[in-house]
Amino acid sequence: MKTFSGLITVLISCSINAFSQGSAIIKEDALQVNKFNDGVYFTLTDLQHNTPTVTKDHLIKSYYDQSDFSIGQWASTQNLFYTAKDENKLKVNRDSLWGYVENGTPYIYLNDRFHRFSTARAISVFTESYPNIKAGLAPVVTEARSTAVINLFILSTGKIMEFTPENVADAIEGNEQLYKEFNALKSWKQKRKKMYRFVERYNESVSFNN
């Protein structure tokens, strides 16, 4: 009986260790990506592992148009098709995508639009922007708050936050030296002026060349 109980304990311990190691791998990959691989990403997990769900050579612009096209052109077509590993043609719903990467630059899909990352590393920066739609003489904004908001994207968690000094401080907290240096800046204006630089420095401290 004691032997059986001991075996159960060992199995549970191994399972916990395996789960912990798997979590660590995801976190490590998410922190250390230096350049994202081109392709379409269905999930955040695929992006964290820098493994496209569908690569460009498996994309189909339509059943009838087989001419050369970019990933962005594919993503903007009405119906999204791709070829599975078994060579079957499949359709994917645009709303189910995380986004895509083209020429190393991620484009995240939010609220019916793809938004381009201007900085793409462990901490990324992107502008979530929406066009004005004219209704009569008065322009109507598609978003209630504004037409453009600059956001932070945290790769290890997928969290999206507005690009503010307070959120930058939270994002770089894992680097104690940078965190203290940023918080030591005397004014909010100084912090806002140097936000981009601190994000860059944080990314430089955790990235590597793939």
d(CA 201, CA 184): 16
- Rounded to a whole number of angstroms, the distance between the first and last alpha carbons of the chain is 51
Answer whether 106's CB lies under 8 Å from 124's CB: yes
Instruction: Give a yes or no: residue 12 inside a domain.
Output: no
Read off the pLDDT of each residue in 126-133 and give the average, rounded to a whole number.
82
Task: Note whether 106 and 194 are same-domain residues.
Answer: no
- Quickly state the pLDDT bin for 17 (edges 50, 70, 90): very low
Regarding predicted confidence, which is higher, 4 or 62? 62
Alpha helices of the chain — where are they, by DSSP H? 2-32, 44-48, 71-75, 165-171, 176-183, 188-193, 195-206
Query: Looking at the 3D structure of the chain, how many domains does it have?
Result: 2
Task: Note whether 169 and 66 are same-domain residues.
Answer: no
d(CA 174, CA 95): 32
Instruction: Give a yes or no: residue 154 inside a domain.
Output: yes
d(CA 121, CA 202): 10
Of 74-88, 123-137, 155-169, give the lowest mean pLDDT range: 123-137
For residue 136, the model assigns a pLDDT of 55
Instruction: Give a yes or no: residue 9 inside a domain.
Output: no
Domain range for 63 is 24-163
In the chain, % of residues over pLDDT 90: 65
Instruction: Give a yes or no: residue 15 inside a domain.
Output: no
Task: Note whether 142 and 176 are same-domain residues.
Answer: no
pLDDT at 109 over 60: yes
Of 25-39, 76-90, 156-170, 181-195, give the lowest mean pLDDT range: 25-39
The chain-wide mean pLDDT, for the chain, equals 82
3-state secondary structure of 155: coil
Instruction: Give a yes or no: residue 18 inside a domain.
Output: no
Q: pLDDT (tens digit, 9 = 90+) per residue, 153-209?
A: 999 999 999 999 999 999 999 999 999 999 999 999 999 999 999 999 999 998 644
Instruction: Give a yes or no: residue 11 inside a domain.
Output: no
Query: 158: how many CB neighbours lie within 10 A of its CB?
Result: 15
- Angle between helices 195-206 and 176-183 in degrees, nearest 10: 170
d(CA 202, CA 177): 10
Task: Note whether 93 and 172 are same-domain residues.
Answer: no
127 backbone dihedrals φ, ψ, rounded to 5°: -100, 120
